[in-house]
A and B are shown apart, each in its own frame.
Chain A
Amino acid sequence: MNGTVVKNQLIFDFASGILGPAKSLFASTYLQLNSNASKIGSTFENMLGENLMDNENIQPKNLKYTDCIHNANFKTTSTIKDPVTSFFGNLNNLKWKQVYKGFKEYTASIDDKDELKLIRMDPGVSVPLHSHGGKEYILVLEGSFCDEYGEYSKGDIQINDQKIKHTPIASKDVGCICLSITEKDVIFFGKYGSFLNLFTFIKSFFKSK
């Protein structure tokens, strides 16, 4: 699967509403910042809208149109800001954790199997050559970075898997802030499960160094 297929898969899954909260927040920010992604998303939503138009009818038993006009339980929700701000608040007020000099991250507390993180890199800072455990999605919120595969600026997404090794460098002028999703490693069960999990644990220990 190439990058475009994975990106579109993310957009389709977002449109059909099956993503978990972490990926969903990630995808909504992607659609907000990237007009091409937003376009693909709305085309796909229009296709699903046609499905609704032609859908079979199952009559509600106890519901009349007047129940919808006079719906006492109906709450109008408050107006909200963009997805990232409404979830994280002001990014400058977060307790960023320094991983090493010029590289900070903030892990969201969100109840999901995928991990959602903000990454902040100072201008010109680079990440040593590395590969990835699970699949990793990176979306640029501010500034830009580049690596062996190209340059990524605001609204661009990069998807990395086990096969990819790279050395990202933040832009020299402004650095960058990114949102990232890491799909968690598989947890093994069964006869050799504990051994394999121990192996994954040890591996992750070395990876984080």
Chain B
Amino acid sequence: MEKSNLDMSMKRIQIDRDEMAFSEIFDFFAPKVNSYFIQNGIKFESSEELTQEVLSTVWVKSNLYDSNKSALSTWIFTIARNKKIDFFRKISKIDFKEEDIREFLYQDREVNIIEENEAKKQIEKINNELDEQQKIIIKMNFFENKSHKKIADELEIPLGTVKSRIRHILTKMQGFLR
């Protein structure tokens, strides 16, 4: 599905509480969110429960989404990430609701903090500068939260190389993030 169609569906949810529009968002994002949880080491049953919570949040709190602050996929990513944090915290018995704080930050963020074009340009620049393998390493490290050791095993490259590549990528990104 096209990005712009997803944005339209989201508007229909926000304005009309349109259930069919929600089913389109669900069909597109639920398998990707489910996959995100599994990539982060969460077992299938739990991943499905968490996916349900994420999509329920999209439905119930749709008015929190602000297209001036972030892309739709970013907003949904942040919800999934927040659920993941609290899921792991629950296991380790830390009584501290991360989701609430992150939600506050999102709402508190000044809309004009990044002009939409500026953000897009920055991301484009970063994407142009990084080669395919560097992008894969970024995804594995920051999106899938795999350990350096695991990345080394999966890509069949030495651990030292992974570490030095991540350091290199981070240094490279410094230049773009200002």
A31 adjacent to B35 (CB under 8 Å):
no
- Scan residues 48-67 of chain B and give those whose CB is less than 8 A from a CB of chain A: 48, 51-53, 55-61
A58 adjacent to B52 (CB under 8 Å):
no
A82 adjacent to B104 (CB under 8 Å):
yes
B105 adjacent to A31 (CB under 8 Å):
yes
B170 adjacent to A9 (CB under 8 Å):
yes
A62: CB under 8 A from chain B?
yes
Which B residues touch A59, using CB under 8 A?
30-31, 34
A77 adjacent to B27 (CB under 8 Å):
no
B32 adjacent to A65 (CB under 8 Å):
no
Q: CB within 8 A of A63: which of B30, B70, B92, B102?
A: B30
Q: Nearest B residue to A20 by beta-carbon distance?
A: B94
For B138-161 the 0/1 string (1 means CB < 8 A from A) is: 110111010000000000000000
A80 adjacent to B100 (CB under 8 Å):
yes
Determine how close the nearest CB of chain A comes to the CB of B100; give it in whole angstroms: 5
Stretch from A66-74, A144-152, A172-180 contacting the other chain: A66-74
Q: CB within 8 A of B26: which of A25, A38, A52, A65?
A: A65
Determine how close the nearest CB of chain B comes to the CB of A5; give it in whole angstroms: 6
Expressed in whole angstroms, the Cα–Cα distance for A44 and B171 within the complex equals 14
A80 adjacent to B113 (CB under 8 Å):
no
Which B residues touch A8, using CB under 8 A?
170, 173-174, 177
Q: Nearest A residue to B53 by beta-carbon distance?
A: A74
Q: Nearest A residue to B102 by beta-carbon distance?
A: A28
Q: How many A-B residue pairs have CB under 8 A?
A: 194
- Scan residues 88-124 of chain B and give those whose CB is less than 8 A from a CB of chain A: 89, 92-94, 96-105, 108-110, 113-114, 119, 122-123
Which A residues touch B10, using CB under 8 A?
none
Expressed in whole angstroms, the Cα–Cα distance for A115 and B80 within the complex equals 27
A39: CB under 8 A from chain B?
yes
Given A8-B170, A9-B170, A21-B94, A65:B105 Cβ within 8 A: no
Q: Nearest A residue to B27 by beta-carbon distance?
A: A65
Q: CB within 8 A of B101: which of A5, A48, A74, A83?
A: A83
Expressed in whole angstroms, the Cα–Cα distance for A40 and B141 within the complex equals 18
Interface residues on B, range: 35 or more
Expressed in whole angstroms, the Cα–Cα distance for A55 and B30 within the complex equals 11
Q: CB within 8 A of B84: which of A17, A31, A36, A44?
A: A17
Given A68-B56, A77-B103, A61:B48 Cβ within 8 A: yes
Which B residues touch A21, using CB under 8 A?
89, 94, 96, 98
B101 adjacent to A80 (CB under 8 Å):
yes
Which B residues touch A53, using CB under 8 A?
3, 32, 71, 73
A40 adjacent to B31 (CB under 8 Å):
no
Expressed in whole angstroms, the Cα–Cα distance for A98 and B93 within the complex equals 31
Determine how close the nearest CB of chain A comes to the CB of B69; give it in whole angstroms: 7
A156: CB under 8 A from chain B?
no
Q: CB within 8 A of A110: which of B19, B36, B96, B177?
A: B96
Which A residues touch B75, using CB under 8 A?
49
Q: List 14 A-B contacts (CB under 8 A).
A: A5-B170, A5-B174, A17-B82, A32-B105, A35-B113, A44-B142, A52-B73, A57-B31, A59-B30, A63-B30, A63-B48, A74-B53, A74-B56, A82-B104
> B: which residues have CB within 8 A of A?
3, 19, 22-23, 26-27, 29-36, 38-39, 44, 47-48, 51-53, 55-61, 69-71, 73-78, 80-82, 84-85, 89, 92-94, 96-105, 108-110, 113-114, 119, 122-123, 126, 138-139, 141-143, 145, 170-171, 173-174, 177-178
